Chain A
Amino acid sequence: MSYSIWNAFQKEAGAELLKLLRAPEFFIPTLVMPSGFYALFAIALPGSHQNAEYMLATFGVFAVMGPSLFGFGVGVANERARGWLDLKRASPAPGIVYIASKLTATLLFASVSLGLVYVIAGFGAGVVMEREVWVSLFGVQLLASLPFVLLGLTLGFSFESNAAVAVTNLVFMVMSALGGLWIPVVIFPPALQSIAQFLPSYHLAEIALFVGQAPGTHHVMQSLVVVLAMTGGLAALALFSWARQRSS
């Protein structure tokens, strides 16, 4: 990375963070919702404390999914609609700087959101795990943002601003609910359960459950292969949608 790209990246990532910090009406709910939901599901509901460790794995994926999908899906669509993206493309700014700085801001944001869930888990819901399990689960969940970032990019490049908000919300709900991030998929009728197999959220949760040493059998290798394939597919889709909107 040459100095100028590195320089541009630092400033652009800083700008992304400033934009985030100056929109508390967006970032506070996004930040607090996962930990709030987790507290509800893992502490407040009767009998739920038994599942606190299990739900830490799934709600952690939920916590990174929000910033990733919305930051990229809605964010990119919005900046495209404003023409800001056009101006950046006309400027010498490399595309990688745009993506990398958004990714950096998203990861930092997701870390905080995830951290809050962990605080609730460790100090509220009574989850006790080995230090290396805590850390590796955190790392895996942070990495889980990648496929959602790519999906968000695809949505952001494919839909106009208002449509992108609606579609991203829909995707977010489907990924969360049918992927078993709130309630285990086993509770759903078999038809809905089979949908989960096609959702990255389900497989990421499976991997997180394995890493978090949650009870039950988790076909981690299978899920890992599926997630890698899905991530590759989403990357191709994101590149395609980027190129397509560019040539119009």
Chain B
Amino acid sequence: MLDEKTNQPAIIATDLVKTFGRTRALDGVDLEISAGGITALLGSNGAGKTTLINCALGLTAQSKGDIRVLGQKSGHALARQSTGAMLQNSDLPDLLTARENIELMASYYPDPRALDEVLGLCEMREFCDVQYKKLSGGQKRRVQFALAIVGRPRLIFLDEPTTGLDSDARRILWKTVRTLAEQNVTIILTTHYLEEADALADRIIVMNEGRIIADAPTTEIRDTVGGALIRCVTRINARQLATLSAVRSVNFAGRFVEILSADAVASLRALLEIDPELSDLTIERPSLEEAFLGLTNRTNGKTDP
């Protein structure tokens, strides 16, 4: 799907590599994000999410490969005119009020939203005339969010937008993001929280160590991720384990087997039935990465007997 204003996909990255010294922050990312909708970049710290966004914004020059934003080279003036951003570590001038900060940012764009519209969208009228340094952490993030949308951008990057927000503020932000998405604005956000990705995104991209390790529509992920991780030593083989009740994926790690299950009780009951001598049993909620590794492994498991 192409952006309705620019007739371009939002992002196309080809074999994108970024190295900082010996660290490969991005290690060959190939990605296309079509216009419209909300895409969540999921991953732990250091996975490469922020580096990817910085490359897309033109703040960081890639070491290799290519990234195009709305059909332009990243950082190109035309791309920036249609882009809004909320960065992870970016404080605004301390001595300006929210209103002044927004007015200033609006002046950079050819067709910005009215100040009043932004204050309304972000529900921040009550603190818009307070100097930035006197705001709470959450209020500061909301001003930053307001700056990201004031320019009526076609593409918005939100890097960890809800970190430090209370639930009310988070709700307001989610609501605004959804409203914008309804107007066919492309939104790319990074998050640690599966719930946030689940609540907002149409598409989830999982990154680990500079690579994309999973990329799927949210609906698919909602179906497949979750449940519990059962870890034990058993004599039952993978093929048989995979057929057990509620099992999503099976993975061997040394002498252990890791079974990702949508319903731990049901799966465990079935497993104990066929192997009463299983040992070293632990059950835990899987980390995001494990969940997505599970996701990918299950896919592998289906094709790999």
Which A residues fall within an 8 A CB radius of B? 4, 7-8, 10-12, 15, 18-19, 22-23, 79, 82-84, 86-94, 97, 246-248
Set A15, A22, A92: member contacting B104, Cβ < 8 A: A15
User: Which chain B positions have C-beta within 8 A of A91?
Assistant: 80, 83-85, 105, 108-109, 147, 151
Which of B59, B60, B81, B96 has the most A CB atoms < 10 Å from its CB? B59
Give the residue of B93, B103, B108 whose beta carbon is less than 8 angstroms from that of A93: B108
Distance from B305 Cβ to chain A, minimum over Cβ atoms (Å): 49
Q: Any chain A CB within 8 A of the CB of B216?
A: no
Distance between B172 CB and nearest chain A CB, rounded to angstroms: 21
Q: Report which of B80, B83, B95 forms a contact with A18, defined as CB distance below 8 A.
A: B95
Contact residues of A: prevailing secondary structure: helix
Interface size on B, residues (CB 8 A): 32
Chain A CB count within 10 A is highest, among B85, B87, B92, B93, for B93
Fill in one digit per residue for B100-128: 1 if any A CB lies within 8 Å of its CB, else 0. Answer: 10011101111000000000000000000
Our pick among B57, B59, B107, B144 for the contact of A12 (Cβ within 8 Å) is B107
User: B61 near A: Cβ within 8 Å?
Assistant: yes
Check if A82 sits within 8 Å of B77, measured CB to CB.
no
Interchain CB contact under 8 A, B104 and A19: no
In the complex, the chain A residue whose C-beta lies closest to that of B105 is: A91
Hey, which chain B residues are within 8 Å of A79, CB to CB?
Answer: 93
Contact with B109, one of A19, A84, A92 (Cβ below 8 angstroms): A92
A247 to B157 CA separation, bound complex (whole angstroms)? 20
Who on chain A is nearest to B60 by CB?
A: A248
The answer to the question of B237 belonging to the interface, with a C-beta cut-off of 8 Å to chain A, is no
A32 to B: closest C-beta gap in Å: 20
Contacts of A8 in B (CB 8 A): 107-108
B87 lies within 8 A of A92 (CB): no
- B85's partner among A19, A87, A93, A94 (CB-CB below 8 A) is A87
Q: Which residues of A contact B100 (CB under 8 A)?
A: 15, 18
Q: Which residues of A contact B108 (CB under 8 A)?
A: 8, 88, 91-93, 97
Question: Which of A7, A19, A89, A90 has its CB near the most chain B CB atoms (within 10 A)?
Answer: A90
- Other than A15-B96, A97-B108, give 7 A-B pairs with Cβ distance below 8 A: A11-B103, A79-B93, A84-B91, A87-B147, A90-B157, A91-B80, A247-B61
Q: Which of A8, A12, A91, A94 has the most CB of B within 10 A?
A: A91
